[in-house]
Structure 1
């Protein structure tokens, strides 16, 4: 649990595609995001981070989660994070290319807070990143005990 100010808490980006990872980083840099970005490049890396927060390290402000991940699928990552007492309230934004109704339904059923389709166009992606930052990093109030 942490009383760390929101601007010092990281954004957890779970993304395996190097191009999308670079695009997301550039979008946040362009929008002058203050929060550090913590990257997990596959589902297993995301799961391996859980003990850090169980040991008292400040929880990320928000997780941006791709679904189509190697090693462990994004929905399984979401299930594990929701099952952990320490990360159960972590806001999770699914940011993916999947427009499948089954994925959308499953993500919300497992506790996703939002489901956003990744835009292909850079300018549209910048807009989406700005909206994510504005809402989750500036407007949203995270739980004090997170």
Structure 2
């Protein structure tokens, strides 16, 4: 067993060179409580937000595809991306489609698991201003 400050120092030294999203700190505390006492609960405010890196797929053509690339989408395309999705070659966290490319999505509507990530106007992932939606999604 190490004292908490020393353990945190070792953890910080060990995580150098690893991606930010892979660091996990787990504490096991032994607390002696008296009878009828309130259980120990709490939270810690981290100095920086721990947000994951999102892999954003943008389905767009032409100028909208260029805007999506500049806004930070991980992968951008139309028919080529849809074919890769049908073959199961593409992995992403969220899919955003330009309103002009929405009819292309009919091909992948029946893919198992598509309901989870399929773009829809109700979710706000089918839009005409694709750059704004990608920026808002990436910075949430």
TM-score (norm 1): 0.46
User: Comparing both structures, which one devotes a greater share of its residues to strand?
Assistant: 1
Q: Which has the higher contact order (CA 8 A, sep 6+)?
A: 1
